[in-house]
Amino acid sequence: MSAEEKNKNILGPEVKNVESKDTTVKSGDNVPDTDMAWSNADGGSVSSVAPSINSVTDTEGISLAEQKSLGVESKQEAKFPFPQLFIKAEELINIDIEVVFDPYEGDIYSISQPGMLDASQLESLKVAQYYFKFRPVTYDDMHKYRKEASVYDPKAGELIINRLQLRTFFLINHLRETNLVDSEGNKFVIEIDEETNNMSLQSIMQIFQTVPALLDVVMTLFERKLLILFQVSN
């Protein structure tokens, strides 16, 4: 396979079928999360897939980190004296979630980030913990994904980013490992396509059969951890 052909497959051939030309994406899928704050450097209309941003803050992440540090001794030596600004491609990014369910009926009552719910107050319900490991998203990855997920909105006169498609890129191209199991306890094994280095079509079909809230929570936490923004204009 030539270098040009491999480059065409970098996003995965199946992913491009998800693209939507619906201009309602701007008002529906680009609505900012209430716990993610940012400000743009300019106030004008931006016809570009490169956001003009001068700050980004995960306020909910800060709150949870501060709560977690309350039980840590102040004299403990810092493990990371400097912010980890450079990506290590070989290190996977871990996302943890907790699922509250009824062990008698199987109903799911909560899917959330650990620490959001006090499980010690539960009596009949149980909590299951799962992890999802992603390969890092580089700036080059983001540049390609934003370009592929951008759609021109003639009404607004600018390019907008289809957030749903961008999220699909993250999931299919970067998820590498999870300890998810089915109702019979069989582990879900992620298969990687050797040609594209993305999740195989069979694995994609399987993981898309999970309850919608599961991937919504996982991908939201993944995006917050990377401080990834979607809005490209005011």
User: DSSP secondary-structure letter at 34?
Assistant: T
In degrees rounded to 5, what are phi and psi of residue 141? -60, -50
Query: Does residue 11 or residue 118 have the better pLDDT?
Result: 118
Mean pLDDT across 227-231: 59
**What is the predicted pLDDT for the residue at 210?**
94
**Lowest-pLDDT choice from 27-41, 67-81, 155-169, 184-198:** 27-41
First to last CA, the chain: 43
Rounded to two decimals, what is the model's pTM? 0.71
* Residue, of 62 and 191, whose pLDDT is higher: 191
* Residue of 81 and 198 predicted with greater confidence: 198
The answer on pLDDT for 200 being more than 90 is yes
Contact 168, 179 (CB under 8 A): no
In this predicted model, which residue has the larger pLDDT, 234 or 211?
Answer: 211
Q: CA-CA distance, 64 to 195, in Å (whole number)?
A: 40
